[in-house]
Amino acid sequence: MKINKFVIGGLLILGAVIFLIANATAGSAQYFMTVDEFNAKGPDVVDKNLRVSGAVIGDTIQYDPQTLTLIFEVAHVPADAPEIETEGGLAEALHQAVNDPTRSRMTVVYVGVKPDLLRHEAQAIVTGYLGADGNFYAEELLLKCPTRYEEAVPDQAGS
């Protein structure tokens, strides 16, 4: 069959693509967890590449412009869409997360430019690792605007 070499060629490409995807996924996968899950994991995830989402607690934001060190706390926000719906939507869920003293919290340490979108009740998605001291050392900070979840509000990445 004359088509043979094309089929072989196609399969080769398919194989190459599968290899590329598998390789890249393994190398850059990050567990995406909530603050609760993060605190629960404990020492298991020290030094592993993680991504955690939470609500920024405004009055814990400390920034030292000399050393460009940013420290703030995030409160647990549920990741489940139905759960967020029952709380009244994402903005409401963030609001509650921040005002609820019983919610678990996590301290984030980040060295770099303080993002413009970092403020009270903003949703933060931090990527980094758990340090031995229990703080989360973020290498990347993604923030979403607190009240405008419908629009294409851009997120800011700092890395």
Partner 1 sequence: MIANLGFGVLLITFFVTLYSALAASFSNPKAFAHLFRSISGARTESLANQLEKLDTPQRAASMVESARRAMLLTFPLLTLASLLLIYLLVNNRFEVQFVYEVTSRSMPTYLKVTAWWGGQAGSLLFWSWLMAAFASLVTLRKWDRDREFLPWVIFVSCFTLAFFVGMIAFYENPFKQFYQTATGVEAYFIQPANSVLFTPEDGQGLNPLLRHPGMIIHPPMLYLGFVSYVIPFAFAIAALITGRTDDRWIRITRRWSLWAWLFLTFGLVLGGRWAYDVLGWGGYWGWDPVEIAAFMPWLTGTAFLHSVMIQEKRGMLKHWNMLLIILTYDLVIFGTFLTRSGVLSSVHAFAQSAIGPLFFTYIAITLVASVALVIYRWGTLRAETEMHSLLSREALFLFNNLLFMSILVVCFWGVIYPLTSELFTGTTVTVGPAFYERANGPLFAALLFLMGIAPLSAWGHSTLQTLGRAAWKPTVLAVIVTVALFAFYTQNVYALIGFFLVAFVVLITLYEYWRGAQARQRSHSERLFAAFWNLTGRDRRRYGGYIVHLSIALMAIGVLGIELFQMETQGTLELNQQASLGGYDVVYEDIARFTGPDGREVTRAVVGIYQNGQYLGELYPRIDYYWDAQQAMTIPGQRATMKDDLYILLVNWEPASATGATFKIYVNPLVNWLWMGSLLFLTGIVIAAWPDKDPEREPVRAGKHVRQVSAAD
Q: What is the DSSP string of 99-114?
A: H-TTS-EEEEEEESPP
Q: Which of residues 16 and 46 has its CB atom nearest to partner 1 in the complex?
A: 16
Task: Determine if 44 is a binding residue for partner 1 (CB under 8 A).
Answer: no
Task: Determine if 45 is a binding residue for partner 1 (CB under 8 A).
Answer: no
Binding residue (CB under 8 A) for partner 1 from 23, 62, 86, 99: 23
- What gap in Å lies between CA 159 and CA 119, rounded to an integer? 18
Q: Which of residues 44 and 102 has its CB atom nearest to partner 1 in the complex?
A: 44
Binding residue (CB under 8 A) for partner 1 from 7, 15, 20, 48: 20
CB neighbourhood size of 80 (10 A):
9
SS3 92: helix
Task: Determine if 7 is a binding residue for partner 1 (CB under 8 A).
Answer: no
What's the Cα-to-Cα distance from 157 to each of 11, 85, 110, 126, 134, rounded to whole Å? 38, 27, 12, 10, 23
Query: In what helix (H) or strand (E) does residue 131 lie, and over which residues does it extend?
Result: none
Task: Determine if 75 is a binding residue for partner 1 (CB under 8 A).
Answer: no
Cβ 86 to partner 1, closest distance in Å?
12
Q: Which tokens go with 13?
A: 């490409």
Binding residue (CB under 8 A) for partner 1 from 76, 95, 103, 144: 144
Task: Determine if 140 is a binding residue for partner 1 (CB under 8 A).
Answer: yes
